[in-house]
Each structure stands twice: as structure tokens, then as C-alpha cells.
Amino acid sequence: MGIFAKLFKKNNEETSSKNVEDFISLTRVYFQSVMAANLGITNIRFVPDVANFKRLFKVPTQGGRLGQAEKTASRRMLIQDYGLSENFFKEIDASIKKHCRTQNEIQSYLFLYQGFSNDLIMLMGNLMQWKFRMPSIFKGALRTMTEKTVHDVCTKTVWKKDDVHKTAAAVRQYKERLGYSEQWMTEYVYNIIMLAKKESKKKNKEKESK
């Protein structure tokens, strides 16, 4: 993918630069690491994000099995940098175990997940637009609003705007096919919202300083 060199700022503690692209990319590394470990993948070309991650952070292959060390390293970074819960990873593990029984199913799963992620982020951005302007000190309120909006997306079948209606329907279909819960979706989206707010604040400060 080649994007990691730009996304991750490596230091001795192996922490990331904490932005939206980092978070999404690191999540993909975890996904692909689980697939590699579960299916005994030896051809690293099947898991390109893992390949870039290994190269950037110099992660040695553990016990001759691709995916084991990368899974542990990416999971540790996601917990340390973004405070993700144990349940977040358990749901990913369960979904991949159920839907990726062979290497031939990897690309179709990742394609479905990418559609799910893209539509979910776009829809939540549309529905929560004004809420993004809330100060970050109101984290609890923003988390509650995110949770409520995710619940609406998963349960509300009629929306006034046609594009919202279609995207919400697509997200529900992805959710059912992949097996993710409202809690998982809330945790994923909330992290993206908070990171996006920080990026926006940083950009505004940079503009003011010029």
C-alpha cells in the first residue's frame, strides 16, 4: 500500500501519530493478521497491510507463522493509542473465523468490510454533522450521541432523505453479513469522530499561526 510511511511516525516506543488514517489502517493490519494466523498464510502478498506494517516496525515473524506477532503488535498499538476494548477485538476475531474459512474468502471479506466501513463513516458524518462541533471535553455526551445514532441506523427503516435511506439500508446489510454489533460500530465510529475533531482543531491552529 505504501501509505504507512506517511501515516505512522515511528519512535523508540512504536507509537503512531494518532490520526484517522492511522486508526483505519492499523485496524486493517489487525484484520489481515488474524486472517494470516487463522489460515496459515505464508504468502505475504495476500496481506499487503501486514507486509507494510512488518517492514515499517521491523516485526519479526513469530514461530515461523505469519500473523501471530503482527496481530499482537497491532492490537497493542490500538489499545495503547486509541483505548479500544477487549470486546472490539473479540468481535473481529469471531467474524473472521466465521466468514474466512479459506484463503479464497479473504478478498471478498475485506471487500465487504471496506464497504461497511466507508458507508458507516459517511452516514454517521452526515447524520452527526452538527454534533462534531461540540467541544471535546464533552466526550461522554458525544459517545452517547454516537451510540444513539448507530442504534437509529440499525433499527430505523424509514429516513426522510433518499440517500440516507439507501446508505442506512446498506449498512444494516453489511452488519448482518459480517456479524458486528451496535457496540462495535459505536466504538469504531466514536474513535474516528474524536480523531477527526483533533485533526480539524490542529489544522485551524496552523491556519491561525500563518
Same domain, 196 and 123: yes
Distance CA 141, CA 48 (A): 38
**Residue 25, CA atoms < 13 Å, CB-side half-sphere:** 21
The count of domains in the chain is 2
Share of the chain above pLDDT 70, in %: 83
Q: What is the pLDDT of residues 66-124, one digit of tens each?
A: 999 999 999 999 999 999 999 999 999 999 999 999 999 999 999 999 999 999 999 99
Same domain, 78 and 122: no
Same domain, 5 and 80: yes
168, with CB counted inside 10 A (0-12, 13-18, 19+), is: buried
More confident residue, 185 or 126: 185
| Domain end among 54, 84, 114 | 84
More confident residue, 98 or 6: 98
Does 145 map to a domain? yes
Task: State the average pLDDT over residues 175-184.
Answer: 97
Same domain, 118 and 165: yes
Q: What is the largest CA-CA distance in the chain?
A: 55
Question: Cell numbers at residue 65, please?
Answer: 507463522
Task: State the average pLDDT over residues 165-178.
Answer: 97
Domain that holds residue 200: 104-204
